[in-house]
């Protein structure tokens, strides 16, 4: 499955230039097409749907590992057995309360993989404020913590987060939908210069 990695600065610049780009795209569609990149193979990923008949599970604020999360996941499994989902969208706050400490953090298993067992399809994940906690749960102040969830993309069959900013077209050929995943945490982060200085994940220099 191919995805488009979105550089944060280029995204903002592109949004400002959208009005000028639309007439250009109408005259020459190929000019406005975003370049595709292919992620490293890593874990053998569950495939994205190849047809246009999609059923998408939307979830968020889920990564607690508690009985409540398991109860919701059990209900999803029951529905999936009768009306199968094609893929899932995770809207953030994936690992409560503070986010993971590294890509091998056992919280990924306890709060994502185990509760979602047998839900074997791609989960397109976005970062939430709890995934970037610095001092207080959900303060969104430590952006580098979110990078651990990006790194986990290489280790999980379900978890799809190749970058902090990316898009996914479904199906890959002749798509009927394109999902854009944006990380809004830098807007509110207490330590925004840290991410810029390291240049991690955003393509900044």
What is the count of structural domains for the chain?
1
- Which range of residues forms the domain containing residue 158? 1-6+56-182
pLDDT value of position 187: 78
Residue with tokens 């993309």: 153
pTM of the model: 0.74
Q: Within a domain: residue 79?
A: yes
How are beta strands 166-170 and 3-5 bridged, if at all? antiparallel
Q: Using alpha carbons, select from 26, 63, 23 the residue that is nearest to residue 152.
A: 63
Q: Using alpha carbons, select from 119, 130, 47 the residue that is nearest to residue 96.
A: 130
Q: Within a domain: residue 39?
A: no
Q: Within a domain: residue 188?
A: no
As a whole-number percent, the residues of the chain with pLDDT over 90 amount to 61
Q: Within a domain: residue 194?
A: no
Phi, psi of 13 (to 5 degrees): -65, -40
197 confidence band (pLDDT: 50, 70, 90):
low
Residue pair 54/92 in contact (Cβ under 8 Å)? The answer is no
């Amino acid at each position: 499955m191919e995805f488009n990695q979105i550089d944060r600065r280029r995204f903002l610049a592109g949004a400002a230039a959208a009005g000028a780009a639309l007439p250009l795209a109408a005259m020459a569609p190929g000019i406005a097409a975003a370049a595709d990149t292919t992620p490293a193979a890593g874990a053998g990923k569950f495939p994205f749907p190849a047809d246009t008949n999609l059923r998408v599970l939307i979830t968020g604020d889920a990564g607690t590992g508690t009985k409540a999360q398991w109860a919701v996941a059990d209900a999803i499994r029951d529905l999936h057995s009768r009306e199968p989902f094609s893929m899932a969208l995770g809207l953030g706050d994936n690992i409560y309360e503070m986010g993971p400490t590294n890509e091998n953090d056992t919280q990924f298993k306890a709060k994502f993989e185990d509760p979602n067992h047998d839900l074997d399809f791609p989960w397109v994940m976005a970062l939430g404020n709890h995934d970037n906690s610095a001092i207080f749960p959900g303060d969104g102040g430590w952006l580098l913590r979110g990078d651990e969830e990006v790194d986990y993309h290489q280790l999980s069959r379900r978890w799809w987060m190749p970058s902090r900013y990316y898009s996914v077209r479904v199906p890959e050929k002749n798509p009927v939908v394109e999902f854009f995943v944006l990380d809004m945490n830098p807007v509110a982060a207490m330590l925004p210069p840290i991410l810029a200085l390291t240049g991690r994940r955003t393509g900044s220099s």
